[in-house]
Structures are given as C-alpha cells and as structure tokens.
Structure 1
Amino acid sequence: MSAEGKVVCVTGASGCIASWLVKLLLDRGYTVHATVRSIDDPNKTEHLLALDGAKERLSLFEANLTAEGSFDSAVNGCICVFHTASPVLFSVDNPQAQLLDPAVKGTLNVLKSAAKVQSLKRVVLTSSMSTVTFGPRLAESGDVVDETWFSDPLFCQQKKLWYQLSKTLAEDAAVKFAKDNGLDLVAINPGFVIGPILQPTLNHTSEAIMSLIKNGKDVIPDGIYRLVDVRDVATAHVLAFENPDANGRCCIVGKVVRSLEIMKTVNKLYPSLGHSERCKDGECVEPTPYSVSRAKAESLGVNFTPMEVSIKDTVESFKKKNLLSF
C-alpha cells in the first residue's frame, strides 16, 4: 500500500519503541502526528525532529494520558492510531496513581478520541508479554507460549506485580472498548526490548541490559530474558496496520535466553569488557526454560533479528551516545 498522504498517530512518541516506529513510518512515506508529554523538553523531541522526513511530515502534539480529550487533536484525520504511551515502572509507592490509572485510563482516553474519527481504519496497541505469561501456571521447560496464554490480574495483584497488572488491565480494557465501539484493534505483545536506541537517554530495558553488560548484574529475578530487537517490534506495529488480515494479539519475541547466554555473547563480541571469568562455557548449561511462538509474528511478515546482531547494535548505540566506554 502507498503511504503517501496517509496520516497516522503515534502516542508516547519519545519512547524507545515509539521513536523507531515514528522513524519507520516516516521512511515509508506516512505523515505522522506524534504525541509527547511536553513539547518543550528537548530530550523528548529533538531526536524525533532530526529524523529523515520529519521536517515535511512530522507534527508534534502535547497530550496527557490521564486528561480525557487530550488526544482529540492528534488523532483527528488519522487512518491509524499506534498507542504506545504507558508508564514503565517496576518500583512504585502508589501503584494506582503511578501505573494503573495512566495505563488503563490513558488507553481508554486514547481509544475514546480514536472512536470519534471517521477516517480511522485500525488501532494498534503496544501491549506486552507481561499480559501473557503471569498466571498461576507459569511457563515451564518445554512449553511453547503463544497468543492463547493470558496473565491473571488477581495473580498479579496478589504477587504485587504492578507493572504486569497495569499492562494486563490496559489490554483487557482496550479489547472490551474496541468490541463495544466497533474499533478494529490489534495488540502487539513484545518481550524484553533491546537494540539501538534513538532517544538520548536510557529507557528501562536499556538500563537493564546496560547493567548486565557492565556489571553482569541481573535485573530480572529469574535471569530469563524474552529478547526482541526494537526494530522488529516497530516493524511488527507497522505490519499490524498494513496487513488487513492482522487481528487479535501478537507475541513478538525473538529468543528466550538466560542472562549467561547474553553475557557469553557480549564476551565473544567485546572481550575487552573482561567478562570472560563470569561466562565460562561450563556455567551456561541449563536448558532454555521455554519458548515463545514466532508463528503469528512471522505470518505478519516479521523477520527476527539474530540475538548477536541485536546485542552488538545495542552496545554500539550506547558507545555512540557516550553511555558506555571501554
């Protein structure tokens, strides 16, 4: 399909996934309405305004997730809304105010704005693997996790998994609203996102992978990472809009690995980081705990980036932005 003259909206456009999504959409010829919390914050806007095509086809809009009607002007005249905006916090004092309300009410505010737009063809929601694998029955060795798996809000609440709860409730609310209001909704469920960053500061998963690269320190308690390249996630969003057969939800995970496997790859690519003692072959013998099906993502047209390429591009991106030196 030709994107020329077609207008789309990306919410939370300064984020890691969203920045790449804006880039890909501009590269394809779309006109992009991008929402940010503050137009006056150069950390949120400069890297977007510097993208190829931005001068001609990118407009920035200020919008607040918790303010109803805040997204009306941004989505007006659009054929697709890519809703990526949602807080990513893993340590909170007030889960309701810091995570649950912005995630759930924010999603509904965006969808309410979208429902007013006659030209709209589809909404693509950035969900998460957090809405897939957190239930009383956790994934075990040999399991193949797919789109039929759902996290359990009660389980998340009991375990105080507030981020996982926020994403699960937001996806549930979006699906219900879309059904009740005749909106065509596709959810993209990425795993742990790595790869080169476009924004000037580290996002949560970049901080986590930086900690692992620099210190060999796990931020995920079980040390199991459902890795996916940010470029693959952004591509999946675009394909979820452009492919008329896309539907429901779609898991986007390139590979499930243990942290030691990541460290071995880092050590192979960058021996000067001095991680060799931590990554002796004999220490990385545990089997991969489970896998995530790539069938639906691949049927959309996603070609997953090899893990080694993603890790190399992540490190090179950190070096280029002077966030990592060795």
Structure 2
Amino acid sequence: MAPASYNCIFNTICVMNASTCLGTKLVKRLLKRGYTVHATIQDRGETSLKGIECEEMKLKIFESDPFDYHSILDALKGCSGLIYSFQPPSDYPTYDEEMGEVEVRAAHNVLEACAQTHTIEKVVFTSSASAIIWGHDKDSTSTDYLDERHWTDINFCRNFKLWHAMSKTLAEKTAWALAMDRGINMVTINSGLLMGPELTITNPYLKGAAEMYEDGVFVTVDLDFLVDAHICVYEEIASYGRYLCFNHIINQNQDALNLAQMLSPLPSPPPSLEEDTMIIQQRISNNKLNKLMVDFRGHQPQMDQNANQDICLS
C-alpha cells in the first residue's frame, strides 16, 4: 500500500510512456511503493523492461500509442490514476512548427480516454517549465517571480521559433480545457530541463538557453527529484493545479560552463570566463511544490531513499 498519511486510495496506476527515463524510474518507484502498474510502451519489438524485479501480477505492460484512442483505453482499464508524459513518435522526432499539433492531438486523446474510464480518479500530466517562462516583459525594478500562475505567450514562441515551448503550452492548455470540461481531477508538473546521461545539445528545451540564462529562468531538475514530485502530487489529496518543478537554477557563469562542457566537451575556456563570478538574479519560483514535498521526502520508505541508480528502457 502507498503511505496512509497521504490518504491515498489509488492502487493501480498507468504510466504513459514508460519508454523514457522518467517513465522507467516512475514504474520502478511505484512498484516499490506497493502499487500495481500498467506501463505503456510504444513499440514492444524495440523496447523491453529491464532491471525491474517484481511480482508478475504487479506489472502489466501495454503497447499503447497516444494517437490510438482504443489502445489508451485498454491500458487505462482498471486504473485509478494516470501519470502521462509525451514522447515524440519515432518517425517524427524533431520539434518544429508542426509538433504542436501532434502533441495537442496526443493530449486530447489521453484526456478523452480518461474521461471515458470511470475508475480514473487522478491524472498527473507532465508538462514543461517552457510552458511558463517565455514572452513576459522583464522589469528591471520588479521583484516578482514567474511561477505556476504564468503561461508562455504562444505568439512569442511562433515569432522566435520556440517550437518546444509552443508545443508544451498548447498541449497543456488542451489538457486543462478537457479536464475542466469533463470533470477530471488533474494536476500538472511543469518540469525544468531534465539532467542526465541522455541529455544532448540537440534537446529542444535548450533553444533559447542564453536568453533563459540572462533572464534568470534557466532551471533544471534531477531525475530523482522529478520522480518524487510526480508521486507526491499524485498521492497528496490536496494537490491542485500546476506545479513548477526544478531543484537547480543556472544563474552563474560556472554553472553555464559546466553545462556547456557536458553537452559539448571543448578545450578549457579562457581564464576570464572561469573567473566571472557574477550571479544572475533568479526570477522563477517553485515554492508551491517545495511546500508540498517537505513532508513527502521525509516520509519516504527507506528502500526509496537508498534506491540504486536505475537504468532506462531501451
């Protein structure tokens, strides 16, 4: 059973898409917490669950495509909750102007399927901080922070070809519209840039990285923290709305250099850059999530806190 302190009665969760690092880690963590998990993958022929030891009846694997409404319904059958994240289709992996329509269609199918699955009690929809940070006027005298109340400006994204931000914003707005219309209990996790071995310089979140840095809104998140955030907002009965999720901000020159070195190893930078100690003022806040997670992280089972580094599905 999940921790009783969270008044959680949701015992079977669908994780869509379990083929990602986030999805795989969520499956493993939820199984350890006593849940039954329906893990969806998009291609059973190329993807297999690795390194997951559990009772056979606790894990069910479904080949489910977010563009195939009936396959979503099959995966959701008998589930009381869904944790959803979008993975671009293998034949259309690049974020461009058309990806917004693709991601919106997937979000629409998934939320509509949830509305038709009468056992679904809660949906955690994985969105992005990029659906929050773009297109806001920066007042040099203002101390206001960007947070969950803000939305990225779609026209700004179109003008500057920020296709990832545009797609995430359109998809999340579509999900919220359907959730409110169909009476679905939904929360979103607006994640910063996910750090890890899979991160490359081609990651679409990085479009506009220099501007994010200069504006004090370039935020990142570790996989463990992101997984905890998803489970926390799912289990906490009082969770609501959007949650901006990050545990680090890149606002110092050394942080930016470290990230650049990780993405594209280069010879040592000039000493003048390494000696630059200026700190960019932070203009983004995740206080709403942090308040919710204070008790959650303190009450995690010992096996969660000491979990070994998990591998991704491949």
Shared fold per TM-score greater than 0.5 = yes
The separation in 2 between residues aligned to 1:122 and 1:223, in whole angstroms, is: 32
My pick for the range that moved more, 231-240 or 155-164, is 155-164
* 1:168-211 residue CA offsets vs partner (Å, 9 max, x unmatched): 0111011110000010010000101114x6xxxx3xxx12399x
Q: Do the aligned partners of 1:133 and 1:139 also contact (CA within 8 Å) in 2? A: no
Query: Pick from 292, 303, 317: which aligns with 2:284?
Result: 292
Structure 1's unaligned 5+ residue stretches are: 211-216, 306-316, 322-326
Deviation at 1:265? 6.2
Counterpart residue number, 2:49: 46
My pick for the range that moved more, 63-72 or 221-230, is 221-230
CA distance change for structure 1 residues 223 and 36 in 2, over 3 Å: closer, same or farther?
A: same
Counterpart residue number, 1:155: 156
The separation in 2 between residues aligned to 1:218 and 1:100, in whole angstroms, is: 15
Q: Given residue 248 of structure 1, which amino acid in structure 2 is its aligned partner?
A: G
TM-score normalised over the length of structure 2:
0.78
Q: Identity over aligned residues, as a percent?
A: 27
Q: Given residue 292 of structure 2, which amino acid in structure 1 is its aligned partner?
A: L
The separation in 2 between residues aligned to 1:113 and 1:130, in whole angstroms, is: 26
Q: Do the aligned partners of 1:4 and 1:30 also contact (CA within 8 Å) in 2? A: no
Q: Given residue 13 of structure 2, which amino acid in structure 1 is its aligned partner?
A: V
In the alignment, does 2:97 pair up with 1:95? yes
CA distance change for structure 1 residues 223 and 85 in 2, over 3 Å: closer, same or farther?
A: closer
Deviation at 1:16? 2.1
Counterpart residue number, 2:301: none
In the alignment, does 2:98 pair up with 1:106? no
**Which protein, 1 or 2, shows the higher relative CO under an 8 Å CA cutoff with sep ≥ 6?**
2
Q: Matched residue of 1:250: which SS?
A: strand
Counterpart residue number, 2:226: 233
Query: Pick from 206, 209, 216: which aligns with 1:220?
Result: 209
Q: Given residue 20 of structure 1, which amino acid in structure 2 is its aligned partner?
A: K
Q: Do the aligned partners of 1:124 and 1:237 also contact (CA within 8 Å) in 2? A: yes
CA distance change for structure 1 residues 46 and 77 in 2, over 3 Å: closer, same or farther?
A: closer
Q: Given residue 104 of structure 2, which amino acid in structure 1 is its aligned partner?
A: V
My pick for the range that moved more, 62-71 or 186-195, is 62-71
In the alignment, does 2:132 pair up with 1:132? yes
Q: Matched residue of 2:237: which SS?
A: coil
The separation in 2 between residues aligned to 1:139 and 1:55, in whole angstroms, is: 56
Q: Given residue 127 of structure 1, which amino acid in structure 2 is its aligned partner?
A: S
In the alignment, does 2:193 pair up with 1:192? yes
Deviation at 1:105? 0.9
Q: Given residue 151 of structure 1, which amino acid in structure 2 is its aligned partner?
A: T
In the alignment, does 2:165 pair up with 1:164? yes
Q: Matched residue of 1:46: which SS?
A: coil
Root-mean-square deviation over aligned CA pairs: 3.6
Deviation at 1:95? 2.7
The separation in 1 between residues aligned to 2:29 and 2:223, in whole angstroms, is: 12
Counterpart residue number, 1:314: none
Deviation at 1:302? 5.5
Deviation at 1:91? 5.0
The separation in 1 between residues aligned to 2:290 and 2:243, in whole angstroms, is: 10
Where do residues 1-326 of structure 1 align in structure 2 (5 Å cutoff)?
1=3, 6-41=11-46, 44-47=47-50, 50-53=51-54, 55-87=56-88, 91-92=94-95, 95-96=97-98, 99-137=99-137, 143-195=144-196, 202=198, 206-208=199-201, 220-222=209-211, 224=213, 225-258=218-251, 260-262=253-255, 277-278=269-270, 283-301=275-293
Q: Given residue 34 of structure 2, which amino acid in structure 1 is its aligned partner?
A: G
Q: Matched residue of 1:10: which SS?
A: strand
The separation in 1 between residues aligned to 2:55 and 2:153, in whole angstroms, is: 41
Deviation at 1:292? 2.5
Q: Matched residue of 2:238: which SS?
A: coil
The separation in 1 between residues aligned to 2:93 and 2:277, in whole angstroms, is: 30
Q: Matched residue of 2:135: which SS?
A: coil
* 1:290-314 residue CA offsets vs partner (Å, 9 max, x unmatched): 2422311112216999xxxxxxxxx
Structure 2's unaligned 5+ residue stretches are: 298-308
CA distance change for structure 1 residues 258 and 249 in 2, over 3 Å: closer, same or farther?
A: same
Deviation at 1:121? 1.1
Deviation at 1:283? 3.4
Q: Do the aligned partners of 2:67 and 2:109 also contact (CA within 8 Å) in 1? A: yes
Q: Do the aligned partners of 2:10 and 2:80 also contact (CA within 8 Å) in 1? A: no
Q: Matched residue of 2:68: which SS?
A: coil
CA distance change for structure 1 residues 218 and 74 in 2, over 3 Å: closer, same or farther?
A: closer
Q: Matched residue of 1:145: which SS?
A: coil
Q: Given residue 250 of structure 1, which amino acid in structure 2 is its aligned partner?
A: Y
CA distance change for structure 1 residues 118 and 153 in 2, over 3 Å: closer, same or farther?
A: same
The separation in 1 between residues aligned to 2:119 and 2:108, in whole angstroms, is: 19
Q: Do the aligned partners of 1:126 and 1:189 also contact (CA within 8 Å) in 2? A: yes
TM-score normalised over the length of structure 1:
0.75
The separation in 1 between residues aligned to 2:231 and 2:271, in whole angstroms, is: 37
Deviation at 1:148? 1.3
Counterpart residue number, 1:214: none
Q: Do the aligned partners of 2:100 and 2:166 also contact (CA within 8 Å) in 1? A: yes
